């Protein structure tokens, strides 16, 4: 008797093993989270959490067109949540101690990345993905679950704010 290979058997055979996927993508995801949160140790934890979520559901996620985009989206969302949590904790500390909280973000890179972190969250995410990972607006839109024109708007506003903050002039093509 000849067994036919079913659709699910073909997709399982075509999937990349998680360990190879992790090895190929981990460093870049840590880089992204580091740029967004500014703290390498926290960034590494956030990236690990994103990969743990992927590992737990690898049977489903590995069949996605771009599992790496899914992991990056989870990492971006976890980073946003961590920054919100850190902000709430700082406010609570301020209220309880009656003094201004002093924890400053340690820059992960020169002043550019510190300026990126000062942007509104979506602008920072778009700028980080565009400049750090050299992703086109279409990929960024897909990864963040927003429209491509919205990505372009965030990139434009982010560039404008960065130029003003860093005292640079925008090139004609960036306007």
List pLDDT tens digits, range 10-24. 344 346 899 999 999
The CATH architecture of the domain made up of 14-107 is Orthogonal Bundle (1.10)
pLDDT per residue over 105-146, tens digit each? 444 556 788 889 899 999 999 999 998 888 999 999 999 999
CATH entry, 109-175, from 2.60.40.180, 1.10.3720.10, 1.10.10.10, 3.40.190.10: 1.10.10.10
The token pair at 147 is 């429209």
Residue carrying the six token digits 């005292």: 167
The token pair at 33 is 């989270």
C-alpha span between 175 and 43 (Å, rounded):
32
Q: Predicted confidence band at 88 (pLDDT cuts at 50, 70, 90)?
A: confident
From-to residues of CATH 1.10.1740 in the chain: 14-107
Terminal CA-CA length for the chain: 66
Q: How many helices (H) and strands (E) does the chain have?
A: 9, 0
Q: What SS3 state is found at 109?
A: coil
> Which pLDDT score is estimated for 12?
41
Please state the pTM of the whole predicted model.
0.57
From-to residues of CATH 1.10.10.10 in the chain: 109-175
C-alpha span between 110 and 102 (Å, rounded):
20
**Contact present, 154 and 141 (Cβ < 8 Å):** no
């Amino acid at each position: 008797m000849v067994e036919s290979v079913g659709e699910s058997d073909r997709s399982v055979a075509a999937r990349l093993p998680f360990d190879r996927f992790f090895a190929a993508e981990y460093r870049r995801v840590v880089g992204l989270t580091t740029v967004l949160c500014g703290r390498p140790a926290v960034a590494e934890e956030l990236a690990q959490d994103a990969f743990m979520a992927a590992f737990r559901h690898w049977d489903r996620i590995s069949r996605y067109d771009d599992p790496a985009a899914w992991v990056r989206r989870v990492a971006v969302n976890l980073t946003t949540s961590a920054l919100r949590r850190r902000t709430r904790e700082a406010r609570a500390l301020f209220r309880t101690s009656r003094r201004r909280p002093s924890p400053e973000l340690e820059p992960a890179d020169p002043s550019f990345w510190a300026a990126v972190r000062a942007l509104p969250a979506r602008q920072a995410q778009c700028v980080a993905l565009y400049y750090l990972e050299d992703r086109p607006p279409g990929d960024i839109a897909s990864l963040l679950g927003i429209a491509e024109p919205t990505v372009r708007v965030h990139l434009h506003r982010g560039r404008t704010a960065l130029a003003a903050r860093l005292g640079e002039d925008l090139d004609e093509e960036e306007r």
